[in-house]
Amino acid sequence: MGGGKHQINKAHKSRFSSKSSRNIHKTSVKDRLAIVKNDRNIGKGARAARLQRNKMIREQKKAAVLKEKRELTGSKCPPRVIVLFALCATVDLEPLADDLLTLLSKEFSAARSETVASSEYRTRATVLKAPHGDLLSCMEMAKVADLLVFVASARSSCEDTDSYFTDSFGSQCLSVFRSLGLPSTAVFIRDLPTELKQRNELKKICTSSLATEFPEDCKFYPADTKEDLHKFLSLFKEQRLKTPHWRTQRSYLMANKVDTVYDGNSEKCTLVLSGYLRARNLSVNQLVHVSGAGDFQLCKIEVLKDPFPLNSRKNQDLMDSDEVHDVEVIRTLVPDPDNQESLVAENTPDPLAGEQTWPTEAEIAEADEDQKQKKIRKRKLPAGTSEYQAAWIVDDSDDEESDCDNEDVDGMVLDEVDGFPGQEGNEYLDHDGDGASLRLGDSEDETDNDSVMMEVDNMTREKIQDELKELKEAHAADEEYPDEVDTPLDVPARKRFAKYRGLKSFRTSSWDPKESLPQDYAKIYEFDNFKRLQKHVLAKALELEKENREDCVSVGSYARLHIKEVPSAVASKLCIIAKTTPITTCGLLKHESKLSVLHFSVKKHETYETPIKSKEELIFHVGFRQFVGRPTFSSEFINTDKNKMERFLHAGRFSVASIYAPISFPPLPTIVLKRVREDATPVVAAVGSLKTVDPDRIILKRVILTGYPQRVSKRKASVRHMFYNPEDVKWFKPVELYTKRGLRGRIKEPVGTHGAIKCLLNGVLEQRDTVCLNLFKRAYPKWPTRHFPILDF
């Protein structure tokens, strides 16, 4: 390192060389305020607005919580309904209900009502005991329960179920309650030992055994002594109860008293129901549904003085029955004839609506032009076909016509555009291959062994039936064919299946939803956009809820509903049912009394083993309402507008049940009951929910005609037992064939005189394979003989 260069070292890195220069880089406060004055003011204003907004939100939440708390313990809130349900038949609910009522009322009396007001706990409650074994009563109580208390006994041992504390009826009701939507729940454990260690151990065992059956927020309480019940009531008065969503959209009233008033007419009477109004305000112009009895109009509503006031004297907690009945009428509401909703449920069809009008001159000229073009193009028609019949035969101008060896088409025609006969994308074939061309090959490429396959048949009808029976029994053990039907021997297939048609593709072929509708469709109502209608009706009901209208009764009021023109037999039945089951009345939204086609997504209940066939009479519990329907079951496909009908409700999966019934706005839980015998109590057959209301939903019934190979020569085969005369073969010739093992093909010509057919397939047919042909027709629900099941109970 030589030279005259001097070493240069880096300067010491220091942020500030001295204390005096420490603040040189900083801007003075005065200058900084001058620079950012405007920005700082904007930030301060935004921050102040944000703080003010957050403070306002907190105050609103506090006010809402305080208001809810006051309503829970105030006189404006209707009494809470506590339903006691025994999980096992050995549990006795009488002493438990007496202890609860004694704590709430502080005195015991045999004439005490089920509804009491407690000044000590600052709450009002109605205690109901669900009768074990009576499914209908348990369901009706669960629909109105604010708190569902399940009572288990630590000494019970139910060996017929997985849990030792729940019997078969308890398990069935639990599944039904879950389908309805559980409100707030609690579990009482009874018959615990007095020794503390054994008591805690047995409580843990019971809790761990039952915890999986209930929601996570469900709490378990010992309930042997009044001290245990006192702890529960102390928590219950402050508890925020949850309610299923479907119960908050409609007003309803659980009747404490049911009376009838006759006005000289022995067939009709006025039904009088008294009780607390819940969930929503009720207008006197609305229609009401009495559970199981039907839809009715109100003639008046009387708002009564509260028979169980919370701020009354202590001796008024216990009221005699005479004092309850002798109530004071505060005000009376009378409906307005101009604004009252109509009770018309069925549409009145115009008998002349189907009449054809006289065509215009332009339509006549167009028809003449079409007729001239048809005459220019000559068609070879079957013998005996008139001009009118020939007009319904659709010509197929595709290149496929040349592939059929220019053969004549008799009867049924394949038309892909108009949805006429063809082949379905079925469960045995891939739907994505609907448009694939068939590589059938020409007859010239194959070895012609027609002389071998065309065997003269000299079989009698008995021999045919015996052979067909043997084939059916042989295939029954291998696989089940749900839609397979037998071609009749004494009736031509073209007449037996005259209403059926083929489909080129089940997914893409068109089917007009307005085509050939039954007469029952003239009675129902249809809306252009049901979802938009539902949104409008619910929004209108919410607006009316916020307004203080003079024709409405507010929530929590003790009201007396006068329901007019109730059949005397129905009213008498309701008076009998009211002794064991609460009678519930709900207000109906606009249009909910009109009949239409309702579709339910249902699943067969695990406890029901008997087959449920389509169009059998079933009882539908839809929310608070009850209908009688004869449903058509169908499966649902996502990528098409058509749905396949199911002859039975299959276990283990959901199906769609379609019925004629009054309109209801979904979502609503659905319980389907079936009466095994006329004198038997209905049992739970299926559970589900209301899906939609749509008369245009297309349900297609499929039938599969099957044939069995007789002679096979590569891709040509002779098939028997699909038809029994050559005319049927010609009629169904345009419909495409398929086999269970994935081949596709078509009919070439009849063979012999007994209905055997020569088929051409796109592959080599195995002798053990089965040849199938699909036909479809639209299916509809069956009109019920009655719509409401009250007289069956």
pLDDT tens digits for range 666-677: 999 999 999 877
755 and 774 inside one domain? yes
- Mean per-residue pLDDT over the chain, rounded: 80
722 and 767 inside one domain? yes
Confidence check: pLDDT of 18 > 60: yes
* pTM for the full predicted model: 0.76
- Residues 765-788, mean pLDDT to the nearest whole number: 91
98 and 176 inside one domain? yes
Q: What is the CATH number of the domain that holds 209?
A: 3.40.50.300
292 assigned to some structural domain: yes
Look up residue 267 and give its DSSP letter. Answer: S
- Residues 480-500, mean pLDDT to the nearest whole number: 86
Residue 281: both structure tokens together: 């305000």
pLDDT digits 0-9 by tens, 90-139:
888 999 998 898 888 865 454 467 888 888 888 889 999 999 989 999 99
Domain count, the chain: 3
pLDDT (0 to 100) of residue 398: 41
234 and 126 inside one domain? yes
Residue owning tokens 């067939």:
267
pLDDT (0 to 100) of residue 440: 43
Confidence check: pLDDT of 601 > 70: yes
Quickly count helices (H) and strands (E) in the chain. 17, 31
152 and 258 inside one domain? no
- Residues 362-371, mean pLDDT to the nearest whole number: 78
More confident position, 595 or 472: 595
229 assigned to some structural domain: yes
168 and 107 inside one domain? yes
731 assigned to some structural domain: yes
Neighbours of 491 (CB within 10 A): 11
121 assigned to some structural domain: yes
525 assigned to some structural domain: no
Say if residues 188 and 129 touch (Cβ distance below 8 Å): no
- With CA atoms as reference, report the closest residue to 86 among 164, 149, 155, 175: 149
489 assigned to some structural domain: no
Q: What is the CATH number of the domain that holds 726?
A: 2.40.10.190
Min mean pLDDT across 336-340, 431-435, 576-580 is at: 431-435
239 and 256 inside one domain? no
546 assigned to some structural domain: yes
Min mean pLDDT across 358-367, 396-405, 696-705 is at: 396-405
Neighbours of 15 (CB within 10 A): 7
89 and 230 inside one domain? yes
- Dist. CA 544–CA 522, nearest whole Å: 33
Confidence check: pLDDT of 725 > 60: yes
**Where among 548, 565, 586 does a domain terminate?**
586
Q: Measure Cα distances from 491 to 498, 528, 724, 725, 727 in Å.
A: 11, 43, 9, 10, 12
Q: Which domain holds residue 236?
A: 80-243
234 and 257 inside one domain? no
Read off φ and ψ for residue 588, nearest 5 degrees.
-100, 140
Q: What is the CATH number of the domain that holds 556?
A: 2.40.30
**Where among 586, 618, 644 does a domain terminate?**
586
116 and 212 inside one domain? yes
**Where among 243, 271, 286 does a domain terminate?**
243
- Residues 403-424, mean pLDDT to the nearest whole number: 41
pLDDT digits 0-9 by tens, 606-639:
988 888 889 989 999 999 999 999 999 999 888 8
160 and 268 inside one domain? no
Confidence check: pLDDT of 189 > 80: yes
Confidence check: pLDDT of 445 > 50: no
- In degrees, rounded to 5, the angle at the alpha carbon of residue 202 between the alpha carbons of residues 199 and 208 is 135
More confident position, 438 or 42: 42
706 and 728 inside one domain? yes
171 assigned to some structural domain: yes
- Dist. CA 550–CA 303, nearest whole Å: 12
- Dist. CA 307–CA 233, nearest whole Å: 22
Min mean pLDDT across 37-46, 258-267, 340-349, 594-603 is at: 37-46
